[in-house]
Amino acid sequence: MKLQQLYCTSKLLLFYVAIIACYNVAAQEEFVPPQATLLTKFSFTQLSGGIIIVRARIDDIADTLNFVLDTGSGGISLDSETVVTYKMVTAISDKTIRGIAGIKTVAFTNNHSLQLPGLAVQHLDFHINNYDLLTSVYGVKIDGIIGFSFFRRYIVKIDYDLLKIEILAPGTIKYPNGGYLMKPNFSSLVFPQAQIADERVFTNRFIFDTGAGLCMLLSEDYVTDSMVLRKKSRRYPTQAEGLGGKKTMDITVIKSVQIGGYKFKKVPVYIFADDYNVTSYPLLGGLLGNDLLRRFNITLNYPEQSIYLKPNSHFKDEFDYSYTGLGIYQIEQNIVVVDIMPNSPGEKAGFKPDDIILSIDNNFSNNVQVFKTALQNAGNIVRILVLRKGQPLLLKLRIKNILRS
């Protein structure tokens, strides 16, 4: 009897081994996607707030144009002046685009190629928008924005340490050790989860937006309904620029923002009345901007609907806690004070609209990026030489530190 039981047990073991062997054979024959292959690699430049500028050409036009690399854009676009300059054929459409300051119907210029260094991206339909305001903000001609229509075709690696971009054909990819693989929700935009903490702690989805030159933007509705902020939080009025023009906002500091296992403490956050529901509240709470995201080297894998973050040398960079209440723009060849928030350090220092900034602490570069960097020295006093109605005037500006208020 025992011998028969042993025999039956042996038969069962052989049966299980046979099943396992069959599954092993099946696994060995499983389809494996091809390896992702490098198509090109090139440099980019970075503007204030971490904004990425990529140089590229359109079709066979000889001139090289400036594009913002923007995961917060659901398509791809060209500046209206650029379209006119190069006499591109346009087509009326009924499609609308939405931004923080408005909604507008846009025309298109269709079936163009984007000539990146070492790569031609064919059959792209560009919607047309006016980027004069962005050009004034950054002091660099903004010819267009590269968004979803491009990202959906490739794997894109962004290295903020080397200021390099790699573009790969879709396929199997090995991510570097020491990072975090996100599986966010995807549509034409990307919505990862993040946790914010101040008076209360909340986990929500936010737009992953490399085209936003700030750390984080929250809708006023989200802040009110969640009661996430401390009641005594100090908020300072300021402005930001987006589709449709300028938008008045508040800036404050919250205790922490956490993405995956990475926590940032005392993060500057902008809060705005989302009149056009850009953040799709209550589905989303706001957006994560590139002044936060630039602290990682990023792999954007839209074909596999994943994003990989690895902390880089900027991970522990100091946040920008400065506050002046001044809105400065490049207008033609001058750096001009356009906006002054009431009761701000800028107003108290005596600035007036249309003041032309000649120098900051004896820096006469006339470069809006350099001047904006000089105004990020929170807590310092800077000496600013302005031209007002043809007369030079020296003003002393104490830059507010919003962290210590």
What type of residue sits at position 321? Y
Query: Residue 140 CA to chain centroid, in angstroms?
Result: 17
Provide CB contacts within 8 A for 22, sequence distance 6+.
Answer: none
- The C-alpha atoms of residue 258 and residue 265 are separated, in whole angstroms, by 9
Peptide bond into 184 cis (omega under 30): no
CB 75 within 8 A of CB 198: no
Over the chain (405 residues), what is each successive 10-residue block's mean pLDDT?
43 39 50 89 95 97 97 96 97 89 91 98 97 94 97 98 98 95 94 96 96 95 94 90 81 96 97 90 93 98 97 96 96 95 97 97 96 94 97 97 86
- The C-alpha atoms of residue 53 and residue 75 are separated, in whole angstroms, by 17
Q: For position 20, what pLDDT does the model report?
A: 39
3-state secondary structure the chain: CHHHHHHHHHHHHHHHHHHHHHHHHHHHCCCCCCECEEEEEEECEECHHHCEEEEEEECCCCCCEEEEECCCCCCEEEEHHHHHHCCCCCECCCCEEEECCEEEECCEEEEEEEEECCEEEEEEEEEEECCHHHHHHHCCCCCEEECHHHHCCCEEEEECCCCEEEEEECCECCCCCCCEEECCEECCCEECEEEEECCCEEEEECEECCCCCCCEEEEHHHHHHHCCCCCCCCCEEEEEEECCEEEEEEEEEEEEEEECCEEEEEEEEEEECCCCCCCCCCCCCEEECHHHHCCEEEEEEHHHCEEEEEECCCCCCCCCCEECCEEEEEECCEEEEEEECCCCHHHHCCCCCCCEEEEECCECCCCHHHHHHHCCCCCCEEEEEEEECCEEEEEEEECEEHHHC
Neighbours of 119 (CB within 10 A): 14
Q: For position 199, what pLDDT does the model report?
A: 95
Q: For position 28, what pLDDT does the model report?
A: 56
Q: For position 29, what pLDDT does the model report?
A: 63
Q: For position 103, what pLDDT does the model report?
A: 87
Task: Name the pTM for this structure.
Answer: 0.90
